[in-house]
Amino acid sequence: MTDLLMPHPAPATPGGSTTTGDCHVEWKKPSAAPVSVNLAAARERLQSRGGATYWRSLEELAETPEFGELLDREFPRFASEWPDGVSRRNFLQLAAASLGLAGLTACTRQPIEKIVPYVRQAEEFLPGKPILFATSMALSGVATGLLIESHNGRPTKVEGNPEHPASLGATDAVTQASVLGLYDPDRSQAISQLGKAATWTTLNQQLTSALTAQSAFGGAGLRLLTGPVTSPTEARLIAALLESYPQARWHRWDPLARDGATKGLTEAFGAPVGMRFDLAKADVVLALESDFLTAGPGSVRYARDFADRRKVGHPEGAAATMNRLYVAESSPTATGTVADHRFRIRPSQLGGIVQALAAAVGVAGVAAPPLDTASAKWVAATARDLAAHRGAALVVAGETLPAAAHTLVAAINEALGASGGTLLYSAPIEADPVDNLTSLVALLDEMKAGKVDLLLVSGVNPVYDAPADLEVAAVFQGSSALRIHHGLHDDETAAYCQWHVPATHYLESWGDARAYDGTVSLVQPLIEPLYGGKTTGEMVGALLGRPTDDAYTLLRETWEGQMGGETFESAFRKLLHDGMVPASALAPSQPAWVGASVSAAVQALAGEPAGGELELALRPDPSVLDGRFANNGWLQELPKPITKLTWENAILLSPRTAEKLGVKGNDVAELTSPDGRKLTGPVWLLPGQADGVATVHLGYGRTRAGKVANGIGFSAYAAQTLASRYGLPSVTLAATGDSAELATTQGHQSIDWMREESEQATERAIVRQATLSEFEQDPHFAHAGAHEGIDVNASFNPGFEYKGYSWGMVIDLNACNGCNACVVACQSENNIPVVGKEQVARGREMHWIRVDRYYQGDVDEPSAIVSQPIVCMQCEQAPCEVVCPVAATVHSTEGLNDMVYNRCVGTRYCANNCPYKVRRFNFLLYQDWETEQFKLQRNPDVTVRSRGVMEKCTYCVQRINRARIPADRDQRQVADGEIQTACQQACPPQAISFGNINDPAAKVVADKKNPRNYSLLEELGTRPRTTYLAMVKNPNPELSA
Amino acid sequence: MAQIFPRSANALARASVFVALFLAAAGGYALWTLAHSGYVTREGIILQQPVPFSHDHHVAQIGIDCRYCHTSVERAASAGIPPTQTCMNCHNQIWTNAAVLEPVRASWRDGKPLTWNRVNDLPDFVYFNHSIHVAKGVACTTCHGRIDKMPLMYQGAPLTMKWCLDCHRDPVPNLRPREEVTNVLWQPPADLAARQKEWALANHVQSKVSCSNCHR
């Protein structure tokens, strides 16, 4: 048995101790091994329900007893079980003690607290009032402009910079979670040499002597390994280094690098080009194995532009504004779920499909290869649709496609007239773009040959995340070079370097970087480096013999050189204030096409291996990406967009493929590649997955990431080779006979409408959708058949009149892509704890906003996958309020369903009575009250909840008060848009609107008047304040017929 | 068998019922008093401070306005405790050698902040906002007591939830004109009740008793 099946150390709190509560009791789930699903029963069940039914999991369809439990009970069975070994005697003892102690709590006096004022107070500082600073976070070198909320000098919350083109005010999930990364207690905290604490001075003495030796032969033994660099300052310093040491070499490595696109476009245009999309102009989009709306550079902006074309309000003209998205992918992604047509394909089919498309849109020199009937049909229809929208069509190729496919896609886009409209070419944003894998291989070859004397590894972790056959660890170990590792953690690569220097987090750094469109974005620190730490620029500076120059000096140098002059000081301050250099986006250009590239690409694609019985696809994890965010508890506990798995990765198989291979869900299976590499992990049945494809997410199985990430999941890099970076065309899979329990939230908080089989149940479905033509015929389709003859407003009591504010929210299901940014934003804003895998498995995750994922249609061929964010509905007639024996949840005069933590005694009646299942209970002391770093992260405007207390979404009442009090002070109304809830602000497609429904000009009122607006479980008469806009799909009539 | 208890024991038994009731009531009263006493609420208790700062001296005798030191009271939730710099504005000129001010000078010299003991301390789940109270015409002394008569600082009111709610349910009797909020010597006009209604209207004073007004 592999270590996968060993009980994982349950990381309770990010980086905290492994005990989840303050009671230090070992918890064991009393249930037996996980029950696997009877697929035949599931299919039969679905058949009897009719095709258009929505369902959430195979367990639900198969009507397993476990699912029934989830549905019937607010908390799954055993969720409130006593720890093992509690006898009646213990129980009575504890009950008596708690009764006694409950009385005693009233007798405690508050401790005397301290006030520590400044000696010299900073300008513009108001105690208790957060200040926003503009900065940027670079991911794989590409920046997103941010505004960081700082409370008394502590960064607590990340928001997007509304003026930054890559953000427009929104952020993605990893950016939201990055603030937790700053306070990660597992970050390396000191410079070390061979594991012993050392100093910057000693390191620099060693560097000086090594560099003196190097300068004799032009730095021939000096090597630099970094991630992709877009930063003008870093690029300038590296260029200076290469100038001083002409024989030195600069290598790049980043597992997320878009090598295929870089190479493919270089082939097409003869030189590297930058590429970005303008989705506002795109009427028809085809994404090939690409999750461009939630992953990769510019995705936040793309999601916004894309969704803006789908927020249809008035049926007249809807067809003119609404775009159409085709997605062909092997494993369902967030982008796939919003597609109008989603095709399940195997990665090995992509080459043929790209060629067929190229031929169909008229790319000269490409012949359509033979395709199976189904593929041929959709390729033909898609190509016709794309060609019909010439100039407003776009094909997006995923980063896992081979370079030749990228060349062909560029040719297709050329034939569709995309360039200059939906697609913009420019100079590359990266300094000296290279093929990362080639670059890393070159470095390793030289190390093997003993040509490297001094190596600086900055911000990358190749020992963990490079293809296994490169054997980076062995090469590092065998090298005689002086190896210096610079990174946030003392990670896998640091273990193979003599020196380790802690890096600064971006919230502690000075620097700059370019955004997806080239906009130069400034990075300024929000806090002094917690543990010293150096930036990449400072490390290169040290190599340049400037060890004492800090990042600020280096940054100023760059911009003084560019802007110069007497006005520099004020101009530079303006750059820092704005967070970016105005109008620095790279100018669009039209690079010249290299004629022979198409035929070369066709030839190259012909050489791609054909797919075997089972293909393996290796993809970055939707939450922790390539593993760089693995030690972030928020991201680990974030249910992944489609699988809803937390805390680990799995082998994803379609139900049909699993049946064929003779494995069941939760079986532990072993994947074997032709060259004998093995991956062992649990199988997860994923409807919507392409048949014959096993998808495994990278980023797990870390060994030196920290307390949160170490030892969870399995590393898929073990199966990666030079030739198969993104997967293998043929692998075998065999069950090992073991089974594993996975912590998925897909069945948790299931709303109890799904089992009903009456026509009515379908009509008042939780998720409502129609096609564009249906919407045009009947704009009020979302209300068809609903609450006929029921007056949901009927009451014996006179209603309450909301004279002032009356808050409300609308969530547009047509804009939501299920990217999870809202979930992390809410967690960050509202001090929501991390509970650990074991507690998630018990259904005790604490997220106030959850994203429910529904499938529609067949188990093997789901017709739709829908994401539905669920927050507290703030019901007007709230079922939770009437059952609370201590009035801990009551209505406010502004319509909020207030939750009063200090009144709550933990009866959980409210949660039991909530039809939307949005209430979360602190079964244990989930908050880490010990770790100093986490105390700095918390939002001081939100109470930190303790054990035994119920909590739920408050509509960010602290933000409401923060806006309402100053408005009241100035004797005015809060303006529309002045209050943004955390989920709303983070949402890349801006699917959420919030405001005062008494203000006729508010956006939320306009949204509530949208004919697509409907309430969940309206017939219960709860009168929710959160309502939803039904989905409208825009299918191609040719394909839907 | 002879009776164990004499007949007179009946009276004792009857009396003991009343005694028990009385004791229970007295006990309850004692607990109630304790819970509302200064011992628990800290009302009127003087805390040891690094410098025996006298509000009496600075406010009543010198006449410094509250906002000279508590600068953010009109703009933020917290009124603000002055930085050492504010003390030194005057005390680098006067009382420059006073022994009692040595901690202030040391703080200024070394750049190390003074550490005060918090006198008016609400529980952490209560989010009080000074600026809105001041804007509505609730005076400093209404909650903090006659600061100008405190040589050493103490809590001037019980600061219990009941005490907060008494005013939140009916704020009008506690109002002043906005511009008189920091005036410790303010004399109410003769027609106070009528004027208070006017001020309440002018400043849009409302009764705010929703939980989320103070608890988040």
What pLDDT does residue A758 have? Answer: 47
* Residue A863 confidence (pLDDT) above 50: yes
Confidence tier at B3 by pLDDT (50, 70, 90): confident
Q: A129 and B75 in contact by Cβ < 8 A?
A: yes
**DSSP conformation class of A466:** S
Tokens of B5: 């208890």
* CA A419/CA B50 separation, integer angstroms: 71
What pLDDT does residue A386 have? Answer: 94
Q: Report the mean per-residue pLDDT for chain A.
A: 87
pLDDT tens, residue by residue, A574-589? 999 999 998 899 999 9
Closest to A460 (Cα-Cα) out of A489, A432, A428, A499: A489
pTM of the model as a whole: 0.90
Q: B127 and A109 in contact by Cβ < 8 A?
A: no
Q: Report the mean per-residue pLDDT for chain B.
A: 92
Q: Note the Cα A276 to chain centre separation in Å.
A: 21
What pLDDT does residue A868 have? Answer: 94
Give me the phi and psi of A66, to 5 degrees please: -65, -40
Confidence tier at A82 by pLDDT (50, 70, 90): low
* CA A701/CA A678 separation, integer angstroms: 14
Closest to A1036 (Cα-Cα) out of A411, A380, A421: A380
Helical spans, DSSP H, in A64-130: 65-72, 88-105
Kindly write down the DSSP assignment for every residue of A99-142, as one continuous string. Answer: HHHHHHHTTPPPPPPEE---SSPPTT--TT--EEEEEEEEETTE
Q: A115 and B80 in contact by Cβ < 8 A?
A: no
Give me the phi and psi of A880, to 5 degrees please: -70, -30
Confidence tier at B44 by pLDDT (50, 70, 90): confident
Q: A127 and B78 in contact by Cβ < 8 A?
A: yes
Q: A118 and B124 in contact by Cβ < 8 A?
A: no
Residue B70 touches partner A, C-beta closer than 8 Å: no
Least confident of A372-381, A552-561, A764-773, B125-134: A764-773
Which are the contacts of A1016, defined by CB distance < 8 A and separation ≥ 6? A751, A766, A873, A916, A1024, A1027, A1028
Closest to A733 (Cα-Cα) out of A614, A617, A612: A614
Residue B116 touches partner A, C-beta closer than 8 Å: yes
pLDDT tens, residue by residue, A273-284? 999 999 999 999
What pLDDT does residue A62 have? Answer: 72
* Residue A710 confidence (pLDDT) above 80: yes
> What is the arithmetic mean of pLDDT over B195-206?
93
Q: Note the Cα A693 to chain centre separation in Å.
A: 23
pLDDT tens, residue by residue, A111-125? 889 999 999 988 778
pLDDT tens, residue by residue, A989-1006? 999 999 999 999 999 999
Of all residues in chain B, what percent carry a pLDDT higher than 90? Answer: 81
* CA A354/CA A658 separation, integer angstroms: 28
Tokens of A19: 């005990």
pLDDT tens, residue by residue, A782-818? 887 655 666 777 777 788 889 889 999 999 999 999 9
Distances in Å between the Cα of A1 and the Cα atoms of A4, A195, A668, A683 are: 8, 32, 10, 15
Which of A121, A831, A874, A896 to mutate to test binding with chain B, by most B CBs within 10 Å of its CB? A121
What pLDDT does residue B41 have? Answer: 85
What pLDDT does residue A785 have? Answer: 62
Characterize A464-503 residue by residue with b for buried, 16 or more Cβ atoms within 10 angstroms of its Cβ, and e for exposed.
Answer: bbbbbebebbebbeebebbbbbbbbbbbbbbbbbbbbbbb
**DSSP conformation class of B148:** G
* CA A843/CA A917 separation, integer angstroms: 12
A-chain residues near B82 (CB < 8 A) = 117
B-chain residues near A127 (CB < 8 A) = 72, 76, 78, 80-81
* Residue A356 confidence (pLDDT) above 90: yes
Interface of A with B (CB under 8 A): 106, 109-110, 112-121, 126-129, 890-894, 896, 898, 900-902, 941-944, 954, 957-958, 960-961, 965-966, 968-969, 971
What pLDDT does residue A124 have? Answer: 78
Rounded to 10 deg, the angle between the A551-563 and A568-578 helix axes is 120
Tokens of B172: 């009008």
Distances in Å between the Cα of A378 and the Cα atoms of A103, A397, A413, A443 are: 70, 17, 18, 44
Please say whether the beta carbons of A74 and A917 come within 8 A: yes
Characterize A55-82 residue by residue with b for buried, 16 or more Cβ atoms within 10 angstroms of its Cβ, and e for exposed.
Answer: bbbbbbbbbbebbebbbeebbbbebeee
Confidence tier at A56 by pLDDT (50, 70, 90): confident
Closest to A950 (Cα-Cα) out of A844, A827, A842: A844
Question: Using CB atoms, which residue from B85, B118, B127 is nearest to A114?
Answer: B118
Confidence tier at A764 by pLDDT (50, 70, 90): low
What pLDDT does residue A126 have? Answer: 85
What pLDDT does residue A564 have? Answer: 72
Distances in Å between the Cα of B117 and the Cα atoms of A448, B45, B84 are: 64, 12, 15
Closest to A716 (Cα-Cα) out of A736, A734, A731: A731
pLDDT tens, residue by residue, A161-211? 999 999 999 999 999 999 999 999 999 999 999 989 999 999 999 999 999
pLDDT tens, residue by residue, A626-635? 999 999 999 9
Give me the phi and psi of A380, to 5 degrees please: -65, -45
Residue B169 touches partner A, C-beta closer than 8 Å: no
Which of A110, A897, A938 to mutate to test binding with chain B, by most B CBs within 10 Å of its CB? A110
Confidence tier at A52 by pLDDT (50, 70, 90): low
Closest to A1026 (Cα-Cα) out of A932, A901, A908, A896: A896
* CA A610/CA A290 separation, integer angstroms: 21
Confidence tier at A80 by pLDDT (50, 70, 90): low
Residue B48 touches partner A, C-beta closer than 8 Å: no
* CA A321/CA A310 separation, integer angstroms: 7
Confidence tier at A41 by pLDDT (50, 70, 90): confident
Residue B203 touches partner A, C-beta closer than 8 Å: yes
**DSSP conformation class of A33:** S
Number of H helices, E strands in chain B: 10, 1
Residue whose tokens read 């070198």? A141
pLDDT tens, residue by residue, A645-666? 999 999 999 999 999 999 988 8
Confidence tier at A749 by pLDDT (50, 70, 90): confident
What pLDDT does residue A2 have? Answer: 35
Residues A932, A933, A935, A936, CA torsion sign = positive
* CA A874/CA A919 separation, integer angstroms: 11
CB atoms within 10 A of CB A2: 14
Helical spans, DSSP H, in A144-192: 173-182
What pLDDT does residue A31 have? Answer: 41
Edge-first strand listing for the sheet containing A499-502: A196-197, A192-193, A499-502, A482-487, A454-458, A222-226, A249-252
Please say whether the beta carbons of A673 and A731 come within 8 A: yes
pLDDT tens, residue by residue, A425-467? 999 999 999 999 999 999 999 999 999 999 999 999 999 999 9
CB atoms within 10 A of CB A388: 11
Question: Using CB atoms, which residue from B82, B84, B125 is nearest to A943?
Answer: B125
Conformational region of residue B188, where left means phi above 0, alpha means psi within -120 to 50, and beta covers everything else: beta
What pLDDT does residue A713 have? Answer: 92
Q: Which residue of chain B has the CA closest to A958?
A: B216
Confidence tier at A643 by pLDDT (50, 70, 90): very high
What pLDDT does residue A61 have? Answer: 73
Closest to A396 (Cα-Cα) out of A349, A352, A332, A350: A350
Q: Which residue of chain B has the CA closest to A113?
A: B118
Of all residues in chain A, what percent carry a pLDDT higher than 90? Answer: 68
* Residue A160 confidence (pLDDT) above 90: yes
> What is the arithmetic mean of pLDDT over A388-416?
93
Top mean-pLDDT range of A209-213, A869-873, A923-927: A869-873
What pLDDT does residue A787 have? Answer: 55
What pLDDT does residue A18 have? Answer: 37
Residues A198, A203, A204, A209, CA torsion sign = positive
Give me the phi and psi of A920, to 5 degrees please: -125, 140
Which are the contacts of A6, defined by CB distance < 8 A and separation ≥ 6? none
Question: Using CB atoms, which residue from A115, A896, A902 is nearest to B212?
Answer: A896
Top mean-pLDDT range of A368-372, A490-494, B33-37: A490-494
Give me the phi and psi of A677, to 5 degrees please: -75, 140
Residue B107 touches partner A, C-beta closer than 8 Å: yes
What pLDDT does residue A87 have? Answer: 65
Q: A129 and B76 in contact by Cβ < 8 A?
A: yes
What pLDDT does residue A595 have? Answer: 76
* Residue A875 confidence (pLDDT) above 80: yes
